Amino acid sequence: MTQTARKENYEIIVIDNNSTDNTADLIRKIKIINSNLRYVKEANQGLSYARNRGWKEAKGEYIAYIDDDCKADNNWCKHIIEAFEIVKPQPVVIGGSSSPWYNLRPPSWFCDDMESFNWGDDCRFLQPPDAKYGFYGFNMAIKRSVLEKNGGFSTKFLHTPQKLVLGEETEFFYRIFDNNPWFWYDPSIKVLNYVSYEKFFLSNRFKRSYESGKTLRKILNCRAISSSYVKNLGGVLLVLAKIPFRLIFRIKSSFLSELVTIIDEICYYFGFLAFQNSTNLKQKNG
């Protein structure tokens, strides 16, 4: 990625988490023109293992994460560094905005808003309760000292190619927020997030929403008799009650888009509310 930040101010570390393609050969070729690029092989399969290996390998004070299928804005590194250095109090976590990109024509029910993530047009510190859940993993930066102090990302939530598990970064943000509540949002820190072919299947989309709700309940260690459970029960009832109004006065671009968004939300709540053995998930260092 071409960045406006001076090369001596950042490094690029590619974590190869047991890929079966020609990643190593490709990085060797790219490194010829990118002296600040490094390739690291992480044998332990799972996103948390890869992210933890990344910050442990890094030399810098700030660790920025981006996924392998995302495209960073040219000012991505520059704006992240500036935010850490200028904003007071100094942020412990920084996140930005994202828009989707894809190389196949999306289905009729899809609209870009479904894969666009932001917290508005203004720079600000996120406020509770939503602040605790932090930012999306493909566009976030964290102070190295905070990662070190808190043991990095938990390996209790391992997303692998064989197993869909969501929540690695959510668990981390929720765990650190009470003692480190300075989560800074800057919409100028932009990435394009790739929407894969699989995400154009409704079954995949609804399953991800269900698993997201399920994981959040585990993170909160939420039992049926609790304020969080009652809040989410009220949330799904409210969504169901508003269905006729939302379909008539829809926010999305089409009737189908609005309907899919509604089902998405319901799947999330059902995942949270579904019966499951609630165990206290203790942090396991990766």
Q: Are 211 and 190 in the same domain?
A: no
pLDDT greater at residue 47 or residue 185: 185
φ and ψ at 84, to 5 degrees? -65, -35
In-domain check, residue 146: yes
Q: How confident is the model at residue 162 (pLDDT cuts 50, 70, 90)?
A: low
Whole-angstrom Cα distance, residue 263 to residue 87? 39
Q: pLDDT (tens digit, 9 = 90+) per residue, 73-111?
A: 999 999 999 999 999 999 999 999 999 999 999 999 999
Q: Are 38 and 119 in the same domain?
A: yes
Q: Are 196 and 256 in the same domain?
A: no
In-domain check, residue 283: no
Listed residue (73, 213, 86) closest to 139, CA to CA: 73
Q: Are 182 and 212 in the same domain?
A: no
The helix, strand and coil proportions of the chain, stated in percent and rounded to the nearest 5, come to 45, 15, 40
pLDDT of the residue at 118 = 93
Q: Are 186 and 211 in the same domain?
A: no
What is the domain range of residue 240? 202-273
Q: pLDDT (tens digit, 9 = 90+) per residue, 204-254?
A: 999 999 999 998 898 888 888 888 899 999 999 999 999 999 999 887 678
pTM: 0.88
Which of 152, 180, 200 terminates a domain? The answer is 200
In-domain check, residue 286: no
Task: With a cut of 90, say whether residue 190 has pLDDT above it.
Answer: yes
Q: Are 33 and 122 in the same domain?
A: yes
Number of domains into which the chain is organized = 2
- CATH code of residue 16: 3.90.550.10
In-domain check, residue 1: no
Quote the tokens at residue 237: 């009832």
